[in-house]
Amino acid sequence: MAISDDFSINTATGAIRHDSGSTVYSLLDFHAYATDFSDNPENIDNDVPSKIAGIRDILKPAIITLLNNGPEATPYNIDDTAAQFLNFGSIEQDGGNTLYTGLRTIGSPLVSGSPIYIVQNGAKLAKFWPDGHARVLVKAKTGGALIDSGDVEVFSRKFGQTYSVFDVNLAAGSEQSAAITTSVDSSISLSLGAAQTILAGLTITAGDVNLDLGNGNGSKLYKGSIDCNNNPLSDVYQALMAACEEGSAETIVGVEGWRYRKLNAAYNEVGSAPFGIFAGGTFFVARGWALLNVPAGDAENYELKAHDDTRQVPPVSTGVEIGGLVAGDSVLVGISLTAGGALDKSQYTLAAGNTSGLGTITLSSSPAVDTPAAGTVRIGDDIYQYSSYSGAVFTLVGTLSQTYSASTPCYIPLIDTVASGSSESVTVIYSGSPRPLGGSVRRGSGGDEIVAFPISATMGASSVSINTVRNSEVG
Amino acid sequence: MTTVIVDGIEFAFDFQDQRIDVPSNITTLNVYPLWRAIREAQATPIGISYPVIAKAAGLDTLDATQGISTFITVTLFDAWEVNSLLGGGKFVLTGGNLIRDDNQDPFRDNPLVTYFAFFSQSGTVTTVNTGSVVTPQDKTDIVNGVWGYTGA
């Protein structure tokens, strides 16, 4: 079939319409058709419908202007339907009041059949092009005014693939390009329906959130929160991708999910995954979003970007577990100068003002990050239980039995208890440096007495587990 | 100071001075309760933060039905010493051996007190568990009697 079979030109009205067929023709072919039409004997009295800017070149977009048919005093014009069957250039009509600009997507890799959709003025354009890279005309100007300043967004968001988005301005006419690339997303294992089910259990909220991850950076401002509801982060990621896929019915911070891009206009977006990328078992969350109610198993499997664009990584947890205990065993584990060596009883010093009767102990400086949230402070042979601490101030269970002078040495064990069962453990934040441990498990009476079992270990980024060797004591 | 009561004897442990105080009313002390007190003291909240005080060996059962076992030997570590709080006179250590790991004197010097310790490489302990009204002191007297026996 030829273009003259699919299109018709009404010289009386100036209408150039698509009548049949499915072939999409280049604007150069269209111009050739219009020119050929005008030199037919029956049309010789009518003006040529179109002109082309510059020379004809099949390798370049054709910039076409539709002209007036002087004898009929009517402007030649195409309609939106006709524009669907033309590409590779731009076509202007009505004295420049109407402009269709060419839009072409390019880029590799592109998963075969990746759907492309175009958003103009906040709305998806009705799709008339096939999946895969697109080459179409988009109306950029009407009634003499650019539609949304000529801006369009080009998306490809098929669940199961990485997403892609590109901003294009069509005001200049000709053909404009949008770089779109997609790949199979190896982090997607759920079906879209299953991901949507997970999504229904999440809460995505815009608004200021201050969050301290306990990583030493203090409280940080975020501009939105995602309540993970203790779902595994691998599932949360998939749910959030489902929230942004082409057919999403979600609304995110007041924007349809299928065109949601970022939380704040000042942020850089993550085009392939608007809420952030999941890679290597870690969820690298897009800037501004705080995660809440992350399951314990994923406590270290994410990174945030605060509003101030600083990277916030949850602290690595480590700890010690002493097993092989019998209820009633005395257990003491602390930092030593060398693994298995004597405990460092000068680990810290006291500040001034630790007077008898106070319900707090204040150190001369804040303790290391791997200090247990609750435990004991030992000042010489004096032992004080604390329930919490903030900075250098420890809140005691009880009060000081005497007044201590400034600079008095003290130390804070990791485990300091009488066993209540077969194991005792503590979880702390990893300091970043391996810690030599010392201490002992002892049982001197009450049956099942054992030879004192020495603790010798190094606590690094991975927790230490030690099993007590229970050699029966003499007597 | 950390106090531990074993068999009615209140032992006091000074971990800084590495000293075990025996009350002034004790003139004869069996090594076994001393060892039990040491074992308990080093497991206390204060004691566990210090190196162990001593180790022990022996008390191997020779005849369970007769209650006969080998002597206990307690070895004190570092500079630990036993200190009698007697105002004067004789202090006797029985029922086992008490030594220092560094071979020094296990007793704190006290010019008013004379320490007697009967050490043996092959001593045995006989535990009297039958008979009426046998008190712990009776048992001690019996053991001392065995050691003090000079007859044919």
**Is the Cβ pair B49, A445 closer than 8 Å?**
no
Mean pLDDT (whole number) for A328-336: 97
Cα of B37 to nearest chain A Cα, Å: 8
A133 touches chain B (CB under 8 A): no
Closest chain A CA to residue B41: A444
**Is the Cβ pair A445, B39 closer than 8 Å?**
yes
Supply the pLDDT for residue A55. 81
Residues facing A449 on adjacent strands = none
Please indicate whether residue B142 or residue A371 has the higher confidence score (pLDDT).
A371
Supply the pLDDT for residue B152. 43
Supply the pLDDT for residue A58. 84
Band of pLDDT at residue A215, cut at 50, 70 and 90: confident
What proportion of chain B, given as a percentage, has pLDDT over 90? Answer: 63
Of B45, B46, B72, the CB nearest to A475: B72
B5 touches chain A (CB under 8 A): no
Of B36, B44, B52, the CB nearest to A475: B36
Mean pLDDT (whole number) for B92-120: 90
Q: What is the pLDDT of residues A286-295, one digit of tens each?
A: 999 999 999 9
Please indicate whether residue B102 or residue A37 has the higher confidence score (pLDDT).
B102
Give B46's contacts in chain A (Cβ within 8 Å): 381, 383
pTM confidence score? 0.70
Give A381's contacts in chain B (Cβ within 8 Å): 15-16, 46, 49
B96 touches chain A (CB under 8 A): no
B58 touches chain A (CB under 8 A): yes
ipTM topping 0.90: no
Window A:316-335, CB contacts with B under 8 Å = 330-332
Please indicate whether residue B150 or residue A426 has the higher confidence score (pLDDT).
A426
List the one residue out of A451, A96, A70, A266 whose CA is nearest residue B52. A451
**Is the Cβ pair B35, A474 closer than 8 Å?**
yes
Q: What is the pLDDT of residues A359-368, one digit of tens each?
A: 999 999 999 9
B51 touches chain A (CB under 8 A): yes
Assigned token pair, A40: 């037919």
Mean pLDDT (whole number) for A230-235: 96
Band of pLDDT at residue B85, cut at 50, 70 and 90: very high
Q: With beta carbons less than 8 A apart as the criterion, state whether A307 and A242 touch.
A: no
Window A:416-455, CB contacts with B under 8 Å = 416, 439-440, 442-445, 449, 451-452
What is the pLDDT of chain B when averaged over all its residues? 85
What proportion of chain A, given as a percentage, has pLDDT over 90? Answer: 86
Mean pLDDT (whole number) for A260-268: 97
Band of pLDDT at residue A261, cut at 50, 70 and 90: very high
Which range, of A216-220, B98-102, B130-134, averages the lowest pLDDT?
B130-134
Supply the pLDDT for residue A247. 97
Cα of A262 to nearest chain B Cα, Å: 56
- Residue that is written with structure tokens 């076992």 in the block: B69
Supply the pLDDT for residue A38. 80
Supply the pLDDT for residue B62. 67
Indicate whether A252 pLDDT > 90.
yes
Closest chain B CA to residue A329: B43
Supply the pLDDT for residue A45. 72
**Is the Cβ pair A444, B41 closer than 8 Å?**
yes
What proportion of chain A, given as a percentage, has pLDDT over 70? Answer: 100
Q: What is the pLDDT of residues A139-162, one digit of tens each?
A: 999 999 999 999 999 999 999 999
User: Which are the contacts of A68, defined by CB distance < 8 A and separation ≥ 6?
Assistant: A14, A47, A74, A75, A76
Indicate whether A37 pLDDT > 90.
no
Supply the pLDDT for residue A11. 87
Band of pLDDT at residue A48, cut at 50, 70 and 90: confident
User: In Å, how far from its chain's centre is CA A135?
Assistant: 31
Indicate whether B139 pLDDT > 90.
no
Q: What is the pLDDT of residues A392-416, one digit of tens each?
A: 999 999 999 999 999 999 999 999 9
Of B48, B55, B56, the CB nearest to A330: B48
Indicate whether A107 pLDDT > 90.
yes
Cα of B16 to nearest chain A Cα, Å: 9
Q: What is the pLDDT of residues A291-319, one digit of tens each?
A: 999 998 898 999 999 999 999 999 999 99
Indicate whether B109 pLDDT > 60.
yes
